[in-house]
Chains A and B, each alone.
Chain A
Amino acid sequence: MKNLINFIIKYFSWFVFIFYVTISCMLLFDNNPYQHHVYLTSANRICSSIFSVFNNVTSYFHLHEINEDLHHRNAMLEMEVINLRNELADIKLMLPDSTFSSPAVHDYDFILAHVINNSISQPQNYITINRGSDDGITPEMGVIDHNGVVGIVNVVGSHSARIISLLNPQFRLSCKVKGHDYFGSMVWDGKDPYHAVLEELPKHVKFAKGDTIVTSGYSSVFPEGLIVGTIEEQVKDKNDNFFSLRIALSSDFTQLSTVRAIKNKRHDEIVKLSQEQASDRKEARK
């Protein structure tokens, strides 16, 4: 007994060391980002209040570029409104007695939020925003800015939330080339914050450089047709059955400021349906 106590005292530092290393490794190899606790991410109250202070200062830095961007986008949208109005008028002429409305748009709502912390140089990047569960943010909401897709909410505090950035290899986004129905999944290759790779596209289709990549709408997170980026070049996929496209991302992750979280009004319904389907399948197996 005495020897044991002596042994423990003698090597106490090693026990302390192993203890801390074990805790660190447990945190490090916890691969599921959706299960991180809110206190251990930047969505907690102290972090978000400090980031808000920083953001009050730094948010003025890129105002000029952001303004320019918004003007550009505004002009584009105005053009689109005019075009759509014309089209709608034409269609109404053709079908005078039908009530015309597109239900897909009304399924989604937006919550505006400011980015208070953002990283682009880590191998796995996250973004913190200043809206949380009190403002209606829930995990697994899609996040976009005025240029395109930004990420997906994963940890939510009461007044802040953490988003898995598109610049995170753990986030795969289902995308398609505008005008085609072929879809693939987009993932960041970790090289630079302006490009990502769209994988798993069929080999026989030819795509042109500069084509627009949009979300496929196959999940309830993002509506169909949100701009993600444009094709820059074709690259060979790791396995030879598919090929990949190198995408120039449309959102500038170095200058994120205001983002919108997408609230899908039918999210619960869709989740419930897929759960029912899963349980049905289980019963069928029995």
Chain B
Amino acid sequence: MLQFALLFIMMIIVQTICNHICIFGIAIPLVYIYFIVRLPINLSVNWVMTLAFFLGLTIDIFSNTQGMNALACTITTVLRRPIFSLYFAREDDLANPIPSIRTLGTGIYIKYLLSIVLVFNIILFFIQSFTLSNIVLTLLRIVASTILSTLLIFGIDSLDNTKREKRL
């Protein structure tokens, strides 16, 4: 519980720093979605949605985007369960409901993470551009941002893992 509260605050701070990054004018890192990736998979969807909405809203306030991130976050959350069961059908077999490399295995975890980040980026950039007038640019931004965000999330993830191993 405390762990997730800390993660919530950390994600807001990290995302605020990341807002200043824009590589080649197209790739924008959106790392705060990591919080939603890490929420226990058996947590009730209402709770996940509530947390996601308020996380998105906070990010909105910090980056002056008015509801854009909140909307994208909420929609992504609804799709989290279906995406998860796509790769990991036997939910009951999980010893630890928190998705991570150790509980899911590297392959499944990467697929799960990449899908969620991709879905989130698709939703966010389509809300952002809204009209499909410049679809090539939007698609380019989605792909570039997904790759950048995933790489950064892996960085954060490895920090988290090394910390835990030391403690053990």
Q: How far is the CB of B104 from chain A (nearest CB, A)?
A: 24
**Closest B residue to A123 using CB positions:** B128
Q: Identify which of A17, A23, A28, A30 contacts B127 (C-beta below 8 A).
A: A28
Q: Is the CB of A24 within 8 A of B64?
A: no
**Chain A 111-136 interface mask (CB, 8 Å, partner B; 1/0):** 00000000111111110100000000
- The answer, yes or no, to whether B142 is at the interface (CB within 8 Å) is no
Q: Is the CB of B65 within 8 A of A122?
A: yes
**Closest B residue to A36 using CB positions:** B66
Tell me the bound Cα distance from A50 to B50 in angstroms.
Answer: 24
Segment of B17-25, B107-115, B146-154, B155-163 in the binding face: B17-25
Q: Is the CB of A12 within 8 A of B46?
A: yes
- The answer, yes or no, to whether B61 is at the interface (CB within 8 Å) is yes
- Interface of B: prevailing SS: helix
Asked, given contacts A13-B46, A13-B49, A121-B28, whether A27 binds B60 with beta carbons under 8 Å apart, the answer is yes
Q: Is the CB of B68 within 8 A of A28?
A: yes
Tell me the bound Cα distance from A280 to B152 in angstroms.
Answer: 61
Segment of A41-49, A75-83, A240-248, A266-274 in the binding face: A41-49
**Which B residues between 32 and 85 are near A, CB-CB below 8 angstroms?**
45-46, 49-50, 53, 56, 60-68, 70-71, 74-75, 78
Q: Is the CB of A162 within 8 A of B49?
A: no
**Closest B residue to A33 using CB positions:** B66
**Closest A residue to B71 using CB positions:** A24
Q: Which residues of A contact B103 (CB under 8 A)?
A: none
- The answer, yes or no, to whether A54 is at the interface (CB within 8 Å) is yes
Tell me the bound Cα distance from A232 to B64 in angstroms.
Answer: 31
Which range holds the interface residue count of chain A? 35 or more
**Closest B residue to A46 using CB positions:** B61
Q: Which residues of A contact B25 (CB under 8 A)?
A: 121, 192
**Closest B residue to A40 using CB positions:** B61
**Chain A 9-29 interface mask (CB, 8 Å, partner B; 1/0):** 000110011001101111110
- The answer, yes or no, to whether B96 is at the interface (CB within 8 Å) is no
Q: Is the CB of A16 within 8 A of B46?
A: yes
**Which B residues between 99 and 140 are near A, CB-CB below 8 angstroms?**
127-129
Tell me the bound Cα distance from A124 to B22 in angstroms.
Answer: 15
Q: Is the CB of B71 within 8 A of A25?
A: yes
Q: Is the CB of B64 within 8 A of A126?
A: yes
**Closest B residue to A127 using CB positions:** B64
* Most chain A CB within a 10 A radius of its CB, from B16, B25, B63, B66: B66
Q: Identify which of A23, A54, A192 contacts B67 (C-beta below 8 A).
A: A23
**Closest B residue to A58 using CB positions:** B20
Q: How far is the CB of A30 from chain B (nearest CB, A)?
A: 7
Asked, given contacts A40-B61, A54-B17, whether A30 binds B45 with beta carbons under 8 Å apart, the answer is no
**Chain B 5-16 interface mask (CB, 8 Å, partner A; 1/0):** 000000001001
**Which A residues between 46 and 69 are near B, CB-CB below 8 angstroms?**
47, 50-51, 54, 58
Tell me the bound Cα distance from A41 to B22 in angstroms.
Answer: 22
Tell me the bound Cα distance from A248 to B32 in angstroms.
Answer: 35
Q: How far is the CB of B3 from chain A (nearest CB, A)?
A: 22
Q: Identify which of A16, A28, A42, A120 contacts B64 (C-beta below 8 A).
A: A42
Contacts A24-B53, A121-B28, A162-B64 supplied; 6 other A-B pairs, CB < 8 Å: A27-B70, A50-B16, A58-B20, A122-B65, A124-B64, A126-B64
**Could you show 16 A-B contacts with beta carbons less than 8 Å apart?**
A16-B49, A16-B50, A20-B74, A24-B67, A25-B71, A28-B127, A39-B61, A40-B61, A42-B63, A47-B61, A54-B17, A121-B25, A122-B65, A123-B128, A124-B64, A128-B64
Top 7 A-B pairs, shortest CB-CB distance = A27-B67, A24-B71, A28-B67, A121-B22, A126-B64, A24-B70, A24-B67
Q: Residues of A at under 8 Å CB distance from B?
A: 12-13, 16-17, 20-21, 23-28, 30, 36, 39-42, 44, 47, 50-51, 54, 58, 119-126, 128, 162, 192
